[in-house]
Amino acid sequence: MAKIKKAKQSNTAMWIMLSPYLFLLVSLGVVPVIMAIAEIPTKARNNRNGGWGVIGKVIHDFRLVPAAEHMLGFVAIFVPLTIVFVVMMALMLDLNTSKWKKYIRVAYIIPASISGGVAVLVWYIIFEPHFSPFKPFLRLFGIKRSDQIWQTSHLVWIFAIMAFFTIVGNWILIQYGSLQSISGEVIEAARIDGCSSYQIALRIKLPLIKKYIIYMAVLVFAGGLQLFVEPQLLDTGVFQGISHVWSLDQLSYDFAFTNGEFGSASALSILLLIPSLIGALIVIFKTDMFEDEESAARKERKQARKALEALEAQKAVTK
């Protein structure tokens, strides 16, 4: 009897703790999605009689494939670049034991405080041969005129650089945090077994934070697909026409606010939700990101043991 009561109590506590999140999830997540789906078949200029056929029209829109290509090109540069750089820097920061560490951490976070909109301006100035503080460096590559920089074909690189510097500092600190969670015993044991710092980083630390890296990869990818502010600002504010409907979110925006075709905009938004949802599902089910502590700790110990065993086995072989 007492047991049932206790279970009930913890149930209520759970709901109380969950309710603020549930409220936000329903009001800002579920309801808008349902509204967007309901919006799709409404009448608009490109869908005079209404109906779901507009989804086909959106898929066959002449701007969709180029925009999707731009986005894929962009994430193909941006995601690997971010992951490799973040992991490298986090591992190095974890190694560094000097007193400068906290200042270095601050140095990492500062570029991250520059949000998308500001980043466009900052990078415009950096790249623009007339204004750039790195003029001599640009000259080195023979870049003297602005049209050598601002070309549609260069945009995947330009936006990748902008997005990279905006988020990389944050992620370095997060991954540094995940490295801190590795128990000192494991590292100690590895060291006693004769691992070099390099081996510890690659063979002990890296496998142990693998799930955090996958988590980062999925979030960075999903975030990258939603690129909007940078191309939109560049097109309207800096170089007219250079990135007109360049990204998928811009296309959705153009449907809604240039043409008043809210159904098409909703259809595209829902289509864009799919890759992000798949990403979320991968994080939840294919990584152990959301396992409870006990089983996670158990797994971690097991993994560490395995890694050590593998190392020892290797040593035995080399001997």
- Using CB under 8 A, list all residues that contact other proteins: 42, 44-46, 48, 57, 61-63, 146-147, 151-152, 235, 239-242, 244, 256-262
User: Which is closer to other proteins, CB of 124 or CB of 221?
Assistant: 124
The Cα–Cα gap between 170 and 86 comes to 9
Q: Helix, strand, or coil here: 44? A: strand
The Cα–Cα gap between 243 and 255 comes to 16
Q: Helix, strand, or coil here: 47? A: strand
Under 8 Å between Cβ of 280 and 184: no
User: Which is closer to other proteins, CB of 79 or CB of 155?
Assistant: 155
Give the CA count within 13 Å in the CB-facing half-sphere of 107: 7
User: Which is closer to other proteins, CB of 85 or CB of 239?
Assistant: 239
Q: Helix, strand, or coil here: 287? A: coil
Q: Supply the minimum distance, in Å, between the C-beta of residue 150 and other proteins.
A: 8
Under 8 Å between Cβ of 190 and 308: yes
Q: Supply the minimum distance, in Å, between the C-beta of residue 130 and other proteins.
A: 8
Q: Supply the minimum distance, in Å, between the C-beta of residue 166 and other proteins.
A: 25
Q: Helix, strand, or coil here: 11? A: helix
Under 8 Å between Cβ of 270 and 248: no
User: Which is closer to other proteins, CB of 3 or CB of 145?
Assistant: 145
Under 8 Å between Cβ of 275 and 225: yes
Q: Supply the minimum distance, in Å, between the C-beta of residue 235 and other proteins.
A: 7
Q: Supply the minimum distance, in Å, between the C-beta of residue 46 and other proteins.
A: 5
User: Which is closer to other proteins, CB of 223 or CB of 231?
Assistant: 231
Under 8 Å between Cβ of 235 and 244: yes
User: Which is closer to other proteins, CB of 12 or CB of 258?
Assistant: 258
Q: Supply the minimum distance, in Å, between the C-beta of residue 132 and other proteins.
A: 15
